[in-house]
Amino acid sequence: MKATLASRSGAWRKRPLARARGWGVARPRKGHQARPLPRSAVVGLILLGPVILTVLLGPWVAPYPPDELNVGPRLQAPTLAHPFGTDAFGRDLFSRVMAGAGIAVKMVSGSVVLSMSLGVLLGLMAGYYGGWLDQVISRAMDVWLAFPELLIAIVVVARLGPSLADAIVALGLMGVPVLDRVVRGAAFSVRHALYVEAARAVGVPDRRLLLRHILPGLYSPIVVMGTLQIGIVLLAGSGLSFIGLGAQPPQPEWGLLLASGRRYMAQAWWLALFPGLAIVVSVLGLNLLGDGLRDWLDPRWSDGLHRRWL
């Protein structure tokens, strides 16, 4: 009995010291597998679920070919046979919206891969080497950021020509400065870390040091910015198609469908409603997923310490 009381009293005496050192309050969990996803990420995944299923199963479950004419009466309101109605050529709008999901994935994937490749490369070089290289890259990014992003995309597409491929290039170039700034700041903060200094001391080449030691430690901001960049690219790409500088007819791109439906707003409201809803739901889901991933990858949010700071 005395031993039990002594052990308990000893434990209570040690507890204030443990709390003062930050132990016993909220121990960090090993890996992200033990952390539950934030609610925003779950809601984002729920919103993106139908879009993902449409991309994967759309060609097999679409009731009609997206470009087939006269599958129904012209400008028919939504019915059981045509859930989203038909357009001015009698094409099924539901099938065209489903096909537009695949075009949206192709557009955002190509643009984000291009912007992340250039942005991560420039940010790593500027943050790791510093000096005159950092000054040159940073000043170039300052000039780049002085212009509105969508304006740069419009200028590039107008110079290359209106098409989906040129819009992908323009949207990819649009996101380079933001990713460069994020990666540069993260690389600048870890370039003097102990493991980087140790690797440099044993003679690890700079290329291997950047790819094997520094870049894996930056995956959290890269993943978060890449997820948020997808929503921005999707919205900007739909805007380019809306003004005629992106995808061209008869491609069933959502922005192009929205532009063609604005002519019939008075008599066929469904032509603009359903493509617009597809854009809104997709962008909202991507933004919520990006916010949730930011919180999930932040260790301060995993142990509950953020509640003290809010």
Phi, psi of 92 (to 5 degrees): -75, 120
Mean pLDDT to the nearest integer, 237-254? 89
Cα-based distances in Å from 200 to 131, 183, 217, 299, 309 = 18, 20, 16, 27, 37
- Domains of the chain, CATH where assigned: 36-52+95-303 (1.10.3720.10)
302 has a pLDDT exceeding 70: no
pTM of the model: 0.77
Query: What is the pLDDT confidence band of residue 298, given thresholds at 50, 70 and 90?
Result: low
Q: What whole-number percentage of the chain has pLDDT above 90?
A: 19
Residues 52-73: tens digit of each pLDDT: 888 888 778 888 888 888 888 8
User: Which band of pLDDT confidence, cut at 50, 70 and 90, is reported for residue 299?
Assistant: low
pLDDT given for residue 275 in this prediction: 93
Which residue has better confidence, 120 or 72?
120
| Span 127-179, pLDDT tens digits | 888 888 889 998 999 888 888 888 888 888 888 888 888 899 999 988 898 88
Binned at pLDDT 50, 70 and 90, residue 290 comes out as confident
pLDDT at 184 over 90: no
Asked if residue 7 lies in contact with residue 259, where contact means CB atoms within 8 angstroms, the answer is no
Rama region for 27: left / alpha / beta (φ>0; ψ in -120 to 50; rest)? beta
